[in-house]
Structure 1
Amino acid sequence: DDMTDPVADSARSLLDGHVVLSRKLAELGHYPAVDPLASVSRLMNSVVSKEHLLASQRFKAIYATYQGAEDMINIGALAPGANRRIDRAVSLIDRVNEFLLQPIGQRCEFQQTVKWLLDITKSWDFLLPAEQDLPPEVPAGPNEADA
């Protein structure tokens, strides 16, 4: 539970990767309760295709974008259209969460899982210039244009 525990911290520094389970996800009935943002694989870059690696990075970016905005979305403080990346993350979050769920006894073939990951993430471009996230400029009023 405690990511700052010296033993856990030492083990993480020695291992090629670690899977972090989340009590919050488990309490929501989300199984397996793997936190994809806190989990790490140092070998992934060496064992998957570039396309798979990019899809994985996009997946984490979608999930992180949504998680970062979730509280604002839930209280209604973030209107649709205010931020394109958040809007896109909101539109994809149900598919992301579905991808993360695996009922007991369900088999998932590796190639089919990768195909599903690629399909979910293909519309995400986290390399958009920052100005793409800004709302469109409001045109100057008639009196302001002459100023």
Structure 2
Amino acid sequence: MALREGVYQLGPQSGRLRVLTGRTGVGARAGHDLVIEATSWDCHVTMNPAEPARSSVTVEVEVDSFEVREGTGGVKPLTDSDRSEIKRTIREKILHTSRHPTITFQSTSVGGSPEALTVDGDLTIMGVTRPAAVQG
């Protein structure tokens, strides 16, 4: 699909935003590799394929919208109760959604070609901002 110049508004109605987790350490045998989907998110893209540096991307994700979609590996299959417990743990013990309800990404530069774009930007999770890059 060719990229076209324009402004695009994306979200759950136009695609999926998923987080893939992996297992390491002592709990690797018992835990699960998870697919977590954000069901409430918004992405604003300004695209200029002729001059990618003039493009920009902004994403905001509602952390409370995370849903555990899949769990593979582990000693036993993932149950609905496990999914609920994982969601509660993410909200209350890991991402503290009452204090930090969103995760955001703001591009700082877009480069490459329409066939192989690189988007560098600032990713903010729990009030901490770090550089991040997306290639595709």
Check whether TM > 0.5: no
TM-score calculated relative to the size of structure 1: 0.23
Of Structure 1 and Structure 2, which has the larger fraction of its residues in strand?
Answer: 2
Structure with the greater relative contact order (CA < 8 A, sep ≥ 6): 1 or 2? 1
Bigger CA radius of gyration = 1
Of Structure 1 and Structure 2, which has the larger fraction of its residues in helix?
Answer: 1
TM-score calculated relative to the size of structure 2: 0.25
